[in-house]
């Protein structure tokens, strides 16, 4: 298991990242999230990055890729709490964020997921 806690709240998976992630930790986190998504029937995943102060393009690519992966599994991932500094540096580096779903904070992210309920619900009955 990664050091990052994974919580299930109101049908969403909440992943608060409170430290700067090392690459191997990211790898483990990705595995843990996907495994949990597979095992549980979840409406969505919220990855809260408010505790992250630095995110290089490699890490950004890695972490946003988790969103794409859960998307393939029929679960929406929202990234919340990106700091202004991270956004400025990623934009300066011409980071392609067109497929990334974001919200300002955890609360807004949770609201966004709720508003998407139904349109994104998983249709398969198997677990």
Partner 1 sequence: MAESEMRTVVPVNMLWDKILMLPIFGTIDSARGQEIMESMLKKIIATKSKVIILDILGVPIVDSAVANHLIKITKATQLIGSEAIISGISAEIAQTMVSLGIELGNVTTTADLADAVQLAFDKTGYVIKKAT
- Does 52 help bind partner 1 (rule: CB under 8 A)? no
> In the numeric block, which tokens belong to residue 71?
């998307």
Binding segment for partner 1 among 7-15, 29-37, 39-47, 95-103 (CB under 8 A)? Answer: 95-103
Shortest gap between Cβ of 10 and partner 1 (angstroms)? 19
> How many helices (H) and strands (E) in the chain?
4, 5
- Does 54 help bind partner 1 (rule: CB under 8 A)? no
Q: Indicate the SS3 state at residue 87.
A: helix
- Does 109 help bind partner 1 (rule: CB under 8 A)? yes
On whether the CB atoms of residues 87 and 123 are closer than 8 A, the answer is no
Binding partner 1 (rule: CB under 8 A), the pick from 7, 104, 117, 121 is 104
- Does 90 help bind partner 1 (rule: CB under 8 A)? yes
Q: Indicate the SS3 state at residue 118.
A: coil
């Amino acid at each position: 298991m990664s050091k990052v806690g994974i919580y299930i709240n109101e049908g969403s998976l909440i992943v608060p990242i409170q430290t700067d992630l090392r690459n191997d930790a990211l790898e483990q986190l990705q595995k843990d999230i996907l495994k949990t998504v597979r095992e549980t029937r979840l409406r969505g995943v919220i990855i809260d990055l408010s505790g992250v102060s630095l995110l290089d393009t490699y890490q950004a690519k890695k972490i946003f890729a988790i969103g794409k992966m859960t998307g393939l599994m029929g679960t929406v991932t929202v990234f919340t709490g990106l700091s202004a500094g991270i956004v400025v540096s990623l934009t300066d580096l011409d980071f392609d964020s067109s497929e990334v779903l974001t919200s300002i904070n955890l609360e807004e992210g949770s609201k966004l997921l709720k508003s998407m309920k139904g349109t994104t619900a998983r249709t398969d009955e198997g677990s």
